[in-house]
Structure 1
Amino acid sequence: MRLRIDLSYDGGAFHGWARQPGLRTVQGVLEDTLAMLLRLPAGDTPRVTVAGRTDTGVHALGQVCHVDIAQEILDSCIGHMNVNGVQALHRRLMHVLPDDIAIQSVSIAPEGFDARFSALDRTYVYRISDAGRPVDPRMRGFVLAVSDTLDCDLMNQAAAMTIGLHDFGSFATPNPGGTTIREVKRAHWDRIGVSALAPSTSDDAGWMVPTVESGLVCFTIVADAFAHNMVRSLVNACVQVGRGRKTLDWFNHKMDEPIREGSTGPIAACGLTLEHVEYPQDDQLAVRAAAIRAKRTLE
């Protein structure tokens, strides 16, 4: 049986998603916990496939993964609970996993579902506090603070150049045998106004509670997939333009000539969050997975 697991995590204390010997990773913690809950023999750890491998320090609000588990093994974790095996596993995961991982849901995956290859697109948001403003202490692990005042108009002109099918070789490194060609569907910068939540009373003189993102500069990017370090490198390049250290012509040249060099390296991981993964209708899952496995070209 293939299960879909939707989860969130604070990436600050993880060395990324992918399992690495001797390091704490999200995949490692999740797979080891599944093996323990399902009472699997040593060395028989279940393999979890994820929609998007996040780097060290990167967070996730809407990460998705899948795992294949035999029905009889899944049912073994029910114990004395009056629920089915899927519900029992969800409850036990929530109880056992550390506080920096939250399981949003566990469900039986539709036929043809592959967390990685069936995805239509992924949405990331990068959050910055600029102009030397202090970061809300509650958000300190999820926001990058910079001293310069960023020019959102210039950064949006740069971001607009990324939309469409391009080779992002200036901003990413391919996996072995892979490519840096990706299709960006949306990319934009927004300065969040000092928005507020209405008071719980009808008295207009009541205190208006500001939302936690008030005053931040946020970059939202949606693409069918992302190459290694692509989002953080694009953010860094846009920020250099927004600071006045690089020009729009420089950014355009980097888009036209996909060659990696020092000035287009990744910005700090702390401000980046994987917000959402989108999938097609159930009857299109296998078709999408087959299509995305093909190596991409610009033609």
Structure 2
Amino acid sequence: MTKRNVDLVGVQMDLGASKRGVNMGPAAIRYAGVCEGIEKLGYSLRDKGDLLCLPSGAGTERLRNCEQVVDINRRLYTTTLESLQNNALPLILGGDHSIAAGSISAVSKHYGKIGIIWIDAHGDWNNEESTESGNMHGMPFSAVCGWGPDQMVNFGQNPVYVDPHHCVQIGGRDIDTEERIRMKDAGVTVFPINEIDKQGMCSVIEQAIQIAGTDTVGFHLSFDIDAITPEAAPGTGTVVHSGLTVREAFLAVETISESGKMLSMDMVEVNPILDIRNKTGILASELILSALGKVVF
């Protein structure tokens, strides 16, 4: 991919999830050397620091901690849009996955027509009616595509919603029943873990790039570390057995980098409290560097 400036921002947010501690994810990924690695790759890096969530706020059983989630997404939207206007590639470190609503909203607003590659054990396609938990980290993918909850992405800026036909979910293995129906109705392409077993990651990621990158400016990569099997990535709050292998994950981001079509990236759900000697933070850092062009040879 063409080298450009990278703007890095951390989001210390864990109120979209049921388990606390993922707000320390940005520190764990930084500690693993992501900033030094980005600069070593030849990028000009601007570390914009971390966004902090409100200490308290309102919510409902169907939209837990909604006020804090919406507030931080509004501020992340502004921060991400400013980076894009300065021709930088936004790199967002989570934090729970609810923060993708703010980052992707900005990317879609700036470019007009984008795709999304969503690598995750979960669908994140719920809204306040379909959710089984009320946790808003299970809703951002649907929100940025106009399938709600709209308050996650509509800050009075006339949001530009992403066409679900340019959206791909990879690695799903814990998708709610109602969520599955909604994703099919919307037209999202889903490559669940069993399809990766059948086709292989090489075929799957090439198809994903084609879907997200054809007739669009490019795509946003949203990578939830729980997509990877928990033996390799224990430091995350919503583990699901039998996930992507480490090599499958690296093959995905390496191929994405080779495509030159990645516009922006989230790396989310690293929870240092649940980790072992920052094993997951280090893995997240290395996956980011591979997405930005680090090669084996």
TM over 0.5: no
Structure ranking higher in strand proportion: 1
Give TM-score, length-normalised by structure 1.
0.24
Work out which of the two has the higher radius of gyration on C-alpha atoms and give 1 or 2. 1
More helix by share: 2
